[in-house]
Chains A and B, each alone.
Chain A
Amino acid sequence: MTAENVTAADPDTTVRAPVPSERRGPSSSAPRMLWGLVVLVAVSALALTTDGFVSVANARAILSSVSFTGILAVGTVVIMLSGNLFSLSIGTSAAVSSMLFLYLLPDVGFVLAVLLTLVAGYATFALQGAIVGRLDGNAIIVTIGAGALQVGAVTWLLPGSVQVPDGVDIGFLTRSVLGLPFPLYVFLAVALLVQCWLHYSATGRQVELVGENKAAARAAGLPTGKLVTVAFAVAGLCTAITGILLAGFNQNANLAVSGTFTFDAIAAAIVGGSSVIGGRGSAARAVLGAVIIATIANMLLLRGFGTGVRVLVEGIVVVLVVVAAQRRKRSIA
């Protein structure tokens, strides 16, 4: 390309100059949030007409199940924000963390088991992040591969199902505190911490920049490899936390625990309104998305539908949100 070419071929830059630039509001996230709220209202309306939805017991059930999906969704948002889509084995990793935690519990005690599980989750994801960020691996392939490796390693090294050892009580992991289930507090704390990290730390803010434009971040000298690694590692911590809570909730752990968590977490992250291709998103939106997804799941459950229908409906909602976001993006551009 000659540079002359540029004056000619890049007319928008020259053409745009005399036209008064369009002024957008200071934050374009408002309509996105609005959209999320519309979905929330619609879902709530449906939910409220469902028999048995409005009851203390059911509210507690929703709040409990929202926590697991929610923490994973917060992790997923961090990966998405870094511009690397999502982990397709985050549910598997949560199950593996759960098994590891229960396996370690009788030998090392509660505190150390928690710490070791966190370290393992952090390391597993950081490794994946390093492959994606430093070696330019594709996040989808790397995380699928990592999932298979974890399943293989766990099947080989651990018993198929791990129980809570006799004489150890981890019931407090699901006990109510002030009328609300303990995992909910953990979920909100994680969301708050991650939100602060994204907003108030230099690293968190740079993760967002890498996600929006990796080439620009690279050329500006930002440590892109490290940032992606850290983003994955944070998701790994979230996953390990979920695994530990799941162990308390189920009182045992096996690979089947992963269930539809991977998809639920991705769905919650997307429905919350974070950009799938990176650069835009927040933990707060993950919370919103997780609530929507959990409400849909609960409502369908009460109406007597099985997992298949639930996943189907989630899928439809995700597609609608992606299409709506895309249309909105185009109308701006």
Chain B
Amino acid sequence: MSSDLLDSEISTGLALEVRQVTKSYGNLVALDDVSFELRKGEAHALLGHNGAGKTTLVRTIAGQVVPDSGAVFVDGALVSLSSPRDAQVCGIAVVDQELTLLPALTVAENIHLGRRDARFFGAATDRNGKIASLLTRLGLAHIHPDTLVAELSLAERQLVEIARALSRDAQILLLDEPTATLSDVEIQRVFTVVRDLLTEGRSVIYVSHRLGEVLDLCDRVTVLRDGRRKATRPVAGMDRAGIVRLMLDEGAVEAARIPRREGNGDAPSVITARGLAAPQLFSLVDLTARAGEIVGIAGQIGSGASSVVRALAGLVPSCTGEVAVDGHPGSPLGTPIRSARAGIAFVSNDRKSEGLFLDKSITRNLVATRPRQTCRHSVVSAKRSRDLGRQLCALVGIDAKRAEDPVSSLSGGNQQKVFIGRCLEHPEVKVLLLDEPTRGVDVAGRAEIHNLVRRAAAGGAAVLFVSTEFDEVLDLADTVVTMFGGRVVATHRGSDIDASTILAETTHGSSVRGVA
């Protein structure tokens, strides 16, 4: 698409216009007076790092979130998108980053499911014919429409998800991180289909962390930051560095200039992992963390970063490679029990389903993994538990009077502190793993949690954390490891950490992979 055309709004009609939309959750403003225009026949990238408001905007367009104020126009007409069905009626099809296919149904049934015009297909044979041609278009000719989705690979499922959106004959296709689980060949297939759609005059909103794909596929890019629209620019003439500059806020650049704490090079390495690999998740991952060192693993969704810490926690049974803790070499830690015995504590990114015992008291949660500290002659001492609970409450900054209250009565940020507090001042913990330590936590809570993590490191533990928010990585890590596509891109020690490098490395495609 030529750039002179892009500059004249009149020459192309708008397929979709979002006008001055605002949405807040409590005191958190997710979208602040954001406007967004999608032209017909255009591929428009939506960028912004975490917390920028990207997902809220996507959900607004998909009818999953109703904004507090503002309006949405489809094809020039004001519409009310108050449910996903409304969006479907308006010709908007969404391919979510989370797979929504039902594994127990066939491909055809899944594609057929939830259609607003179910009659469209007519007889089953006719239906299968149409689906087969759709699948062929996506390079899935080898898959029969009657195949069960359960038998498909993750990437194939993602492509079927796209086929389903296409089958709805949508004018506007919203692809939210569609390539996170796909290989390069599969990504190219998706691109081919998307380009076909564009020439047919349909429009595509493309949400991705991968800048290479954006440059390759899209005509324009809108960058959100802190809930506002930072810029909308034609892609032609932009490069990665340009986009990265738009995405970065000055604060983060400033933070990056603060000299890093030089990790104590002489401290013994507490955990060393060599050649970690798990099928479909990551491969050839080497990591080291010294006592007192905070290692931040930066990577977008699908980069494998989260899976790596899960593997170290023993939660990825298929993981192979070598892990040595405290100089004791061993096979990969196949079960969480083995990891715990080796002195590894894990704070999951999902404190509700994989973290806290919500019905139990704050104290019980804090001492859950400390039988040795709470028992006397192998009998649980109520007094010891209580004292320890109070002491840990004080440590994590929760009123000790509440120590016996159920942990579910705390706010999200405080719950997270309890979760992390479980691993603090723990004589058996040598390595602390955290996956998204401040997910869903407000700014104040975030700072407190960061201090807790620093404290754990100061106490001699080796800390490894994963974050998709690179502000957090810059803020907290002594050493930054960047990951992309299941591989480590680079390891930055001490002062050579730089915001744009991290962003580039975690969003780059294959060009950087060679360097690693």
Contacts and interface: CB of A to CB of B under 8 A. Distances in A.
Given A6-B439, A215-B353, A23 B409 contact: yes
Interface residues of A, number: 45
B124 interface: no
Interface string A75-115: 00000000000000000000000000000000000000000
A312 to B, nearest CB: 33
Contact of A8 (B56, B313, B337): B56
A217 B335 CA distance: 12
B80 interface: no
Interface in A11-46: 11-18, 21-24, 26, 28
Nearest to B338: A221
A201 interface: yes
A212 B406 CA distance: 13
Contacts of A13: 411-413, 415, 440-441
A209 interface: yes
Contacts of A11: 25-26, 28
A9 B380 contact: no
B489 interface: no
Contacts of B361: 26
Contacts of B98: 1
Given A16-B411, A23-B409, A216 B337 contact: no
Contacts of B345: 220-221
A285 to B, nearest CB: 15
Interface in A206-221: 206, 208-209, 212-213, 215-221
A59 interface: no
A10 B359 contact: no
A147 interface: no
A2 B440 contact: no
B337 A7 contact: no
A3 B354 contact: no
A209 B442 contact: no
A209 B364 CA distance: 9
A205 interface: yes
Given A5-B55, A14-B26, A201-B378, A219 B412 contact: no
A4 B51 contact: yes
A220 B336 contact: yes
B84 interface: no
Interface string B149-163: 000000000000000
A15 B26 contact: yes
Most chain B CB within a 10 A radius of its CB, from A1, A216, A222, A279:
A216
Interface string B347-374: 0100001111111110010001101001
Nearest to B413: A17
Interface in B428-474: 436, 439-442, 445, 467-469
A217 B357 CA distance: 8
A219 B313 contact: yes
Contacts of A28: 406
Contacts of B357: 209, 212-213, 216-217, 279
B346 interface: yes
Binding site secondary structure of chain A: helix
Binding site secondary structure of chain B: loop
Given A13-B412, A215-B353, A2 B439 contact: no
Contact of B337 (A24, A201, A205, A221): A221
A86 B98 CA distance: 35
B508 interface: no
A24 B30 contact: no
Given A2-B54, A8-B25, A14 B410 contact: no
A206 to B, nearest CB: 8
A3 B336 contact: no
Contact of A1 (B56, B97, B409, B441): B97
B220 interface: no
A15 B341 CA distance: 38
Contacts of A221: 314, 336-337, 339-341, 344-346, 369
A90 B269 CA distance: 52
Most chain B CB within a 10 A radius of its CB, from A14, A16, A215:
A14
A288 B130 CA distance: 64
Contacts of B374: 202
Contacts of A12: 412
A202 B379 CA distance: 7
A223 interface: yes
B371 A202 contact: yes
Interface string A176-214: 000000000000000000000001111001101100110
Nearest to A17: B411
B461 to A, nearest CB: 15
A2 B468 contact: yes
A220 B366 CA distance: 11
B132 interface: no
- A-B residue pairs, 5 tightest by C-beta: A221-B340, A13-B412, A15-B26, A11-B25, A202-B371
Given A216-B354, A219-B336, 5 more contacts: A3-B301, A199-B380, A205-B380, A216-B353, A222-B337
Interface of B: 25-28, 30, 48-56, 59, 65, 97-98, 177, 209, 300-301, 313-315, 336-337, 339-341, 344-346, 348, 353-361, 364, 368-369, 371, 374-375, 378-380, 402, 404-406, 409-413, 415, 422, 436, 439-442, 445, 467-469
